[in-house]
Amino acid sequence: MGAIGVNSRMMHLNLFLMGCGHHRAAWRHPQSSVEQLGDIRYYERLAQLAERGKLDAVFFADSGAAGNVSDGSWWYLEPLTAIAAMSRATQHIGFISTVSSTFYTPFHAARLLASLDHISSGRIGWNVVTSMFDVEARNHGYESMPDHAERYRRAEEFVQAVLGLWDSWDDDALLFDRQGHYADPDKVRSINHHGEFFQVDGPLNVPRPVQGHPVLFQAGSSEQGRELATRYAEAIYAVAYDLPAAQDYYRDIKQRVSAAGRTVSVPIMPGLVTYVAATEEDAKAKQRELDELLPAEASLRQLSMFIDQDCSDWELDAPVPTLPSMENFSGPQGRYSTILRIIQTEKPTLRQLLGRLAAGGGHCTLVGTPQQIADKMEYWFCNEGADGFNLMPPSLPSGIEDFIEQVVPELQHRGLFRSDYHGSTLRDHLGLERPGCS
């Protein structure tokens, strides 16, 4: 355990905010926050809580469609408007918003994010995604989603146009010269972007963001996603079920970034689901309590779909029966391989499997004492598995309260996590340079 020093490598931690928590049944808990999902004060309190824990940022996923409204709400307030308010209720913590490159114009995205970076005094990050679902396409004028390759070509061009717009004002363009110019016209430029998907003349109608560019997050795991991350990402949200998977991804990305000649650090932060309590038994009880809130019938129906066989009459509290191997399964591969891996590694009962799938199934899930959880996090952090974590509390606010009250002090004690903020921008927290104007 290293000494605490300004130069020692520090973990990065985000609170990945999601409705009443990342466990699909969290809203069903008697004390859940479900009635508050439309109340901005709930979001402000979560941000203040995360700031008390000295976290780097609050992270928002997003979607362009309503989803299954009978089974809970994942989004409700729109992230960009919520972040404007949350940033005013806090002073240090960053805010990362997912903004899809598929449905906004680059001008709107650049402007909204730049405005937020000014409002928050430099605490904004942008998680660049390509939307995936036809149900989102059909809310925005398309019959179905463009194919994967086209979405990534579009995403890359979108990023280029947004970066160009942020750089369309030099840092020193504003003069405020009352006898002369408000801004120096030679330092505010058109970008004249004319690409395959977008035409954007520019300049932006917002001066250069406080951070130069809001921090670019990316989360791709496909080949095109990794390539996009290699070229543009400044920090990465990853999905890793266990350390070997995390290491594979971590080493691959670091190698690609270095091969591309980029000298930046690009911190990689896998998602992490934690159930924390003073004893391992109590932590398991917390997990069990949420799992038991899952409506069994609907969950079994869903599992039957995932594994392509009827499991509606399987015993909930018995071990999961043996399933066909990957080679003998013809349905969609991703989710099925996660299911096989959970069964193989964790030997769960059927109810436990349903619970795992209902709370960040493919992500690393840790259940135990603050020491046990800190041990694992430290091990990943010291062994090329992670530079930090995107925390996915199964329930909110209790899950992040547990983490901040119990795990954060343990990480701080070990010299792995800051005891206070040392800078004022999200770039400062993540140890990223402010980009010059291209």
Binding-site entries for FMN: 62, 98, 148, 152, 221-222
Annotated binding-site ranges: 62, 98, 148, 152, 221-222
Query: CA–CA separation, 71 vs 228, rounded Å?
Result: 34
Q: For a second copy, give the closer residue by CB, 21 or 203.
A: 203
- Among candidates 421, 415, 433, 379, which has minimal Cα distance to 2? 415
Q: For a second copy, give the closer residue by CB, 179 or 263.
A: 179
Choose one: 102-110, 146-154, 223-231, 357-365; the region binding a second copy (CB under 8 A): 102-110
**Smallest gap, in angstroms, from Cβ of residue 22 to a second copy?**
16
Site for a second copy in 46-65 (CB under 8 A): 63-65
- Among candidates 350, 360, 353, which has minimal Cα distance to 395? 360
Q: What is the CA radius of gyration of the chain?
A: 22
- Among candidates 133, 33, 119, which has minimal Cα distance to 401? 33
**Smallest gap, in angstroms, from Cβ of residue 276 to a second copy?**
24
Q: Which of 8, 91, 144, 205 binds a second copy (CB under 8 A)?
A: 205
**Smallest gap, in angstroms, from Cβ of residue 137 to a second copy?**
9
Q: For a second copy, give the closer residue by CB, 158 or 403.
A: 158
Beta carbons of 95 and 58 less than 8 angstroms apart: yes
Count each helix (H run) and each strand (E run) in the chain, helices first: 15, 11
**Smallest gap, in angstroms, from Cβ of residue 188 to a second copy?**
5
Query: CA–CA separation, 242 vs 167, rounded Å?
Result: 39
Query: CA–CA separation, 270 vs 41, rounded Å?
Result: 28
SS3 288: helix
Q: Which of 40, 264, 316, 437 binds a second copy (CB under 8 A)?
A: 40
- Using CB under 8 A as the binding criterion, the count of chain residues that bind a second copy stands at 74
**Smallest gap, in angstroms, from Cβ of residue 277 to a second copy?**
23
Q: Which of 42, 107, 158, 381 binds a second copy (CB under 8 A)?
A: 107
Using CB under 8 A as the binding rule, whether residue 292 contacts a second copy is answered as: no
Choose one: 106-114, 241-249, 255-263, 369-377; the region binding a second copy (CB under 8 A): 106-114
> Residues 73-92 vs a second copy: string with x where CB under 8 A?
x-xxxx-xxxxxx-xxx---
Query: CA–CA separation, 27 vs 199, rounded Å?
Result: 43
- Among candidates 287, 398, 393, which has minimal Cα distance to 17? 393
Q: For a second copy, give the closer residue by CB, 34 or 340.
A: 34
Site for a second copy in 239-268 (CB under 8 A): none
**Smallest gap, in angstroms, from Cβ of residue 68 to a second copy?**
8
Omega before 348 cis (within 30°)?
no
Site for a second copy in 165-184 (CB under 8 A): 173, 176, 178-179, 181-184
**Smallest gap, in angstroms, from Cβ of residue 436 to a second copy?**
20
Query: CA–CA separation, 391 vs 393, rounded Å?
Result: 6
Neighbours of 213 (CB within 10 A): 26
What ranges make up the beta strands (E) of 26-93?
57-60
**Smallest gap, in angstroms, from Cβ of residue 215 to a second copy?**
17
> Residues 394-433 vs a second copy: string with x where CB under 8 A?
----------------------------------------
Beta carbons of 303 and 331 less than 8 angstroms apart: no
Beta strands at 199-200 and 193-194: parallel, antiparallel or unpaired: antiparallel
SS3 177: coil
Using CB under 8 A as the binding rule, whether residue 202 contacts a second copy is answered as: yes
**Sign of the alpha-carbon torsion through 62, 133, 214, 393:** positive
> Residues 18-37 vs a second copy: string with x where CB under 8 A?
---------xxxx-x-xx--
Query: CA–CA separation, 197 vs 22, rounded Å?
Result: 35
Beta carbons of 207 and 166 less than 8 angstroms apart: no
Residue with structure tokens 């906004």?
Answer: 104
**Smallest gap, in angstroms, from Cβ of residue 390 to a second copy?**
22
Site for a second copy in 117-176 (CB under 8 A): 118-119, 135, 138-143, 173, 176
Q: For a second copy, give the closer residue by CB, 86 or 307.
A: 86
